[in-house]
């Protein structure tokens, strides 16, 4: 489906638009980088690229109000340190562009309870909450806000890790349904999931994905973690009782995860890489070295940005103004399409 284009272009380039977001729910980790952030830095050069720190999404689980703002700024700084260049892409904070929350309501009115109930991430996060813990209604409706985030920018490409594929499918369904009911309004987006690194697993629990909010610090490699600590964690990664180095995520999740991490870091196929190793120890040494080398420039740039705190805030303010210029007319078109009185 063609769909309409946002009427204001951010940059004078006849290219597809990319949009994605990351929540400021904790320290960004290797999975966030290999699954999402690294794609962002590549996409910015040949696409009209818009990236967002999705602070409203973070509120779906309890956050310390004294920490959230600091984390939001810090998450933005990590995006810049990873290589986002504000002169060729847009980086902003979701809650600074109120159109997200408003279109989210229209998306909630477009989604059914049945399809939201099928979202596995909701089931996992709600199930993980202890019996007595408060589970916010927003944890259930969050995919509608995510659809709004994407549709506001007429994005046709959404770089994400594998865990977000289902939410992307829902965003597509909602765009198609809205267009069918009310006339062509939204571009129908597609997920862009990397071939290697789409799902980095926890080093200690290799059947679970590495996650910001996980309770497994030894299984998670932070993007800003010091090299000695990264090396220690990778050397202690859980493998199995066999000795053969083989890429087999089902039977050998720990070893396959290390091969995936090494493959993603050096740009090689994990199954091919496996043939070069006779022992787990050698694989761990090379994997640790590759990760430390991959993160070194990011850590150096982060230190520079942290020394100049006002710079990131200024980039975010400029980004919000650019984002609003695209989002506002799309929201107006959606409002008019459903019949809301012009304001």
CA–CA gap between residue 268 and residue 4 (Å, rounded): 39
The Cα–Cα gap between 51 and 148 comes to 14
Selected from 10, 17, 18, 25, the binder of ligand AQP by CB under 6 A is: 25
Q: Which stretch binds ligand AQP (CB under 6 A): 20-28, 40-48, 237-245, 257-265?
A: 20-28
Is residue 100 involved in binding ligand AQP (CB under 6 A)? Answer: no
Active-site residue flag, 209: yes
Question: How far does CA 318 lie from the centroid of its chain?
Answer: 21
Query: Using the rule CB under 6 A, is 198 a contact of ligand AQP?
Result: yes
Residue 29: phi and psi, rounded to 5, are: -125, 175
The one among 19, 32, 71, 277 contacting ligand AQP by CB under 6 A: 32
Q: 223 near 281, Cβ under 8 Å? A: no
User: 3-state class of 2 per DSSP?
Assistant: coil
48 near ligand AQP (CB under 6 A): no
Which residue among 82, 111, 200, 316 contacts ligand AQP (CB under 6 A)? 200
Please pick, among 123, 128, 212, 252, the residue that the annotation labels catalytic. Answer: 212
* Residue 252 known to be catalytic: no
Does residue 38 belong to the site contacting ligand AQP (CB under 6 A)? no
When asked if residue 213 is in the footprint of ligand AQP (CB under 6 A), the reply is yes
- Give the active site residue among 123, 209, 252, 322: 209
Cα–Cα distance, 246 to 125 (Å, whole number) = 32
The sign of the torsion formed by the CA atoms of 319, 325, 329, 335 equals positive
Nearest approach in angstroms of CB 199 to ligand AQP is: 5
Candidate list 23, 72, 104, 204; residue touching ligand AQP; CB under 6 A: 23
Confirm whether 233 is a catalytic residue: no
Return d(Cα 285, Cα 289) in angstroms, integer: 6
160 binds ligand AQP (CB under 6 A): yes
Contact 269, 194 (CB under 8 A): no
Interacting residue with ligand AQP among 35, 219, 222, 254 (CB under 6 A): 35
Interaction of residue 79 with ligand AQP, rule CB under 6 A: no
For ligand AQP, give the closer residue by CB, 21 or 185. 21
User: With respect to ligand AQP, which residue has the nearer C-beta, 163 or 225?
Assistant: 163
In the bound complex, what is the minimum distance in angstroms from residue 167's beta carbon to ligand AQP?
9
Q: Near ligand AQP by CB under 6 A, which window of 168-176, 179-187, 211-219, 321-329?
A: 211-219
Whichever of 154 and 197 has its CB closer to ligand AQP, that residue is: 197
Structure tokens at 213: 């909010």
Residue of 123, 125, 128, 322 marked active site: 125
DSSP conformation letters of 211-274: -TT-S-GGG--BTT--HHHHHHHHHT----S-------TTT-HHHHHHHHHHHHHHT--HHHHH
CB 3 within 8 A of CB 154: yes
In whole angstroms, what is the distance from residue 331 CA to residue 151 CA? 9
Options 50, 91, 145, 210; binder of ligand AQP; rule CB under 6 A = 210
**Kind and range of the H or E element at 51?**
strand 48-53
The DSSP symbol for 276 reads T
Nearer to ligand AQP, 163 or 286 (CB): 163
H helix runs in 275-308, sequence order: 280-306
Residues of this chain that interact with ligand AQP (CB under 6 A) are 22-23, 25, 31-32, 34-36, 160-161, 163-164, 198-200, 209-213
List residues with catalytic annotation.
125, 209, 212
């Amino acid at each position: 489906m063609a769909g309409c284009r946002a009427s204001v272009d951010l940059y004078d380039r006849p290219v597809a638009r990319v949009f994605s977001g990351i929540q400021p729910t904790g320290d960004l980790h290797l999975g966030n980088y290999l699954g999402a952030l690294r794609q962002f830095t590549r996409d910015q050069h040949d696409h009209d690229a818009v990236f967002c720190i999705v602070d409203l999404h973070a509120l779906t689980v309890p956050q310390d109000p004294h920490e959230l703002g600091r984390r939001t700024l810090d998450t933005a700084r990590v995006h810049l340190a990873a290589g986002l260049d504000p002169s060729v892409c847009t980086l902003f904070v979701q809650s600074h562009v109120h159109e997200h929350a408003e279109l989210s309501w229209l998306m909630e009115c477009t989604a059914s309870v049945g399809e939201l109930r099928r979202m596995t991430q909701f089931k996992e996060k709600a199930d993980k909450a202890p019996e007595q813990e408060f589970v916010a209604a927003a944890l259930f409706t969050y995919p509608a806000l995510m659809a709004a985030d994407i549709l506001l920018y007429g994005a046709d490409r959404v770089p994400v890790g594998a865990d977000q594929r289902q939410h992307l499918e829902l965003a597509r369904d909602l765009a198609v349904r809205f267009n069918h009911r009310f006339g062509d309004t939204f571009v129908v987006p597609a997920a862009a999931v990397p071939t290697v690194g789409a799902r980095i697993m926890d080093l200690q629990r290799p059947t679970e994905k590495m996650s910001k909010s996980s309770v497994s610090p030894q299984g998670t490699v932070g993007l800003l973690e010091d090299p000695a600590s990264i090396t220690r964690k990778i050397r202690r990664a859980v493998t199995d009782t066999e000795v053969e180095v083989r890429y087999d995520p089902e039977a050998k999740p720990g070893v396959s995860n290390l091969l995936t991490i090494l493959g993603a870091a050096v740009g090689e196929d994990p199954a091919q890489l496996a043939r070069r190793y006779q022992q787990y120890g050698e694989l761990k040494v090379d994997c640790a070295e590759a990760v430390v080398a991959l993160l070194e420039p990011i850590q150096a740039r982060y230190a520079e940005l942290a020394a100049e705190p006002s710079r990131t805030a200024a980039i975010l303010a400029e980004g919000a103004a650019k984002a609003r210029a695209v989002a506002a007319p799309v929201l107006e078109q959606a409002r008019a399409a459903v019949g809301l009185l012009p304001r």
